[in-house]
């Protein structure tokens, strides 16, 4: 099969690399959300520990 | 504490990815036969290699778990499979894009490489329902490890079977003779493999760190809510030793 012209092939190459970038971006977004949740939980636990501390 | 080495690893990954992308588009020439669409191979093939390598690594970690009984190896194995599934999905999508551009079809069912990779991918998709249908943490870890070992052994067998298949149209990027890649394209390809492998390890470590931190927080919450005093602080040398040890035995969730 002859090679596709650049303008035609460019769409496919861009599509493949966009999939790759989207994979990374989505993963980073998910892991950021997880870290934010861990941070919130940590704050809650700090508050809980403060309340339990005998004054 | 769990994220030890994550920062230099992340920096190395970003540098390697930037170098790989720059080499793909500004250094490596267009393929004489396929033209510009061959550029897809610089991410498609490394991701496939790394994903399959991840499955094998997960099997080795599962063996470690069964040999030592340390559930942290099961967690490592689970996260490795999880990452390989993500990479595998990207392999299938980028492969389909290349197939559409090169062969005129999104998917070709009589192509052994495509179908065998799909079989491996679907096989590992079964891992999730298997793992999360078992509530007892010990059994969950043990059964998951057995699955990871059995499926991990299937990966090289599958790879060898496909290589032995005579009728194929899938291009060979790597072979014992180094494939048909000229020097500059081969260098770009190896830099891409390095970048994708670093990305895999960074994501694996990040996921592992997040899961361990979540587990550790859960334990701390239960202790505080149950009114059990946490153990006395460790000596200044290693304040996280007790926590780190207990977190390693935390079941994956």
- The 10 Å Cβ neighbour count of residue B161 is 12
What pLDDT, on a 0 to 100 scale, did the predictor assign at position B29? 86
Give the whole-angstrom CA distance, residue B39 versus residue B44.
Answer: 9
Q: Do B86 and A27 touch (CB under 8 A)?
A: yes
Give the whole-angstrom CA distance, residue A54 versus residue B239.
Answer: 23
Mean predicted confidence (pLDDT) in B161-180: 60
Query: Which chain A residue has its CA at the smallest distance from B227's CA?
Result: A52
Q: How many CB pairs under 8 A join A and B?
A: 80
Higher pLDDT, B65 or B159: B65
Quickly list H helices, B40-182: 41-68, 71-103, 112-125, 127-132, 137-164
Q: Helix, strand, or coil here: A3?
A: coil
Read off the pLDDT band of B222 (50, 70, 90).
confident
Q: Do B214 and A38 touch (CB under 8 A)?
A: yes
Give the whole-angstrom CA distance, residue B128 versus residue A30.
Answer: 18
Read off the pLDDT band of B108 (50, 70, 90).
confident
Q: For residue range A20-54, what is the model confidence (pLDDT) as tens digits?
A: 999 889 998 998 898 888 888 888 888 888 887 76
Structure tokens at B39: 């550029």
What pLDDT, on a 0 to 100 scale, did the predictor assign at position B162? 74
Touching check for B242 and chain A: CB below 8 Å? no
Higher pLDDT, B191 or B33: B191
**CA distances in angstroms from B183 to B132, B178, B222, listed in the order given:** 47, 10, 58
Distance from the Cα of residue B10 to its chain's centroid: 16
Q: What is the CA radius of gyration of chain A?
A: 24
Mean predicted confidence (pLDDT) in B159-164: 76
What pLDDT, on a 0 to 100 scale, did the predictor assign at position B244? 37
The CATH code of the domain at B6-249 is: 1.20.120
Higher pLDDT, B232 or B211: B211
Report the candidate in B22, B225, B55, B219 with the shortest Cα–Cα distance to residue B147.
B55
**CA distances in angstroms from B167 to A19, A26, B228, listed in the order given:** 30, 38, 66
Q: ipTM for the complex?
A: 0.80
Residue extents of the structural domains in chain B: 6-249
CB contacts, 8 Å: A48 with chain B: 221, 224-225
CB contacts, 8 Å: B35 with chain A: 3-6, 9
Read off the pLDDT band of B230 (50, 70, 90).
low
* Residue B122 pLDDT greater than 90, yes or no: yes
Beta bridge partners of B31: B35
What pLDDT, on a 0 to 100 scale, did the predictor assign at position B157? 84
Query: Which chain B residue has its CA at the smallest distance from A4's CA?
Result: B35
Interface probe, candidates B17, B41, B204, B210, chain A, greatest A C-beta count within 10 A: B210
What is the number of H-type helices and E-type strands within chain B? 8, 0
Give the whole-angstrom CA distance, residue A36 versus residue A30.
Answer: 10
Touching check for B180 and chain A: CB below 8 Å? no
Higher pLDDT, B53 or B161: B53
Give the whole-angstrom CA distance, residue B71 versus residue B208.
Answer: 13
Q: For residue range B57-66, what is the model confidence (pLDDT) as tens digits?
A: 999 999 999 9
Higher pLDDT, B219 or B23: B23
Residue of B86, B206, B213 with shortest CB distance to A23: B86
Interface probe, candidates A17, A39, A46, A50, chain B, greatest B C-beta count within 10 A: A17
Interface list for chain A against chain B, based on CB atoms closer than 8 Å? 1, 3-6, 8-10, 12-13, 15-17, 19-20, 23-24, 27, 31, 34-35, 38, 41-42, 44-45, 48-49, 52
The residue assigned the tokens 């191979």 is B41
* Residue B223 pLDDT greater than 50, yes or no: yes
Per-window interface: B 92-131 vs A, CB < 8 A: 93-94, 97-98, 100-104
B176 phi, psi to nearest 5 deg: -65, -25
- Predicted TM-score (pTM) of this structure: 0.82
Read off the pLDDT band of B11 (50, 70, 90).
very high
Q: What is the mean pLDDT of chain B?
A: 83
The residue assigned the tokens 């490489």 is B113
Give the whole-angstrom CA distance, residue B77 versus residue B61.
Answer: 5
Query: Which chain B residue has its CA at the smallest distance from A33's CA?
Result: B210
CB contacts, 8 Å: B93 with chain A: 16, 19
Dihedral sign from CA coordinates of B21, A25, B54, B5: positive
What pLDDT, on a 0 to 100 scale, did the predictor assign at position B253? 40
Higher pLDDT, B175 or B131: B131
Mean predicted confidence (pLDDT) in B60-74: 94
What pLDDT, on a 0 to 100 scale, did the predictor assign at position A3? 63
């Amino acid at each position: 099969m002859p090679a596709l012209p650049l303008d035609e092939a460019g769409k496919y190459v861009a599509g493949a690399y966009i999939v790759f970038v989207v994979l990374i971006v989505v993963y980073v977004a998910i892991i950021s959300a997880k870290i934010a949740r861990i941070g919130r939980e940590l704050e809650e636990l700090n508050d809980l520990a403060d309340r339990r501390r005998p004054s | 504490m769990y994220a030890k080495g994550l920062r230099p690893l992340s920096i190395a990954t970003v540098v390697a990815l930037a170098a790989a992308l720059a080499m793909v588009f500004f250094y490596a020439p267009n393929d004489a036969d396929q033209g510009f669409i061959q550029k897809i191979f610089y991410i498609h093939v490394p991701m496939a290699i790394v994903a399959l390598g991840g499955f094998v690594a997960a099997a080795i970690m599962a063996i470690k778990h069964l040999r030592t009984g340390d559930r942290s190896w099961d967690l490592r194995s689970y996260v490795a499979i999880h990452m390989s599934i993500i990479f595998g999905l990207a392999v299938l999508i980028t492969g389909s894009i290349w197939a559409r551009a090169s062969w005129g079809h999104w998917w070709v069912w009589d192509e052994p490489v495509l179908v065998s990779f799909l079989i491996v991918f679907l096989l590992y998709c079964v891992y999730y329902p298997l793992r999360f249908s078992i509530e007892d943490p010990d059994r969950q870890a043990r059964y998951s490890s057995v699955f990871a070992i059995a499926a991990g052994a299937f990966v090289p067998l599958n790879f060898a079977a496909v290589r032995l298949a005579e009728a194929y149209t899938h291009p060979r990027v790597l072979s014992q003779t180094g494939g048909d890649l000229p020097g500059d394209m081969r260098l770009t390809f190896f830099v891409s493999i390095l970048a994708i492998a670093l990305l895999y390890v960074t994501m694996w470590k990040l996921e592992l760190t997040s899961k361990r931190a979540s587990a550790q927080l859960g334990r701390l919450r239960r202790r505080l809510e149950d009114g059990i005093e946490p153990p006395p602080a460790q000596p200044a040398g290693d304040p996280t030793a007790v926590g780190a040890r207990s977190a390693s035995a935390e079941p994956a969730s």
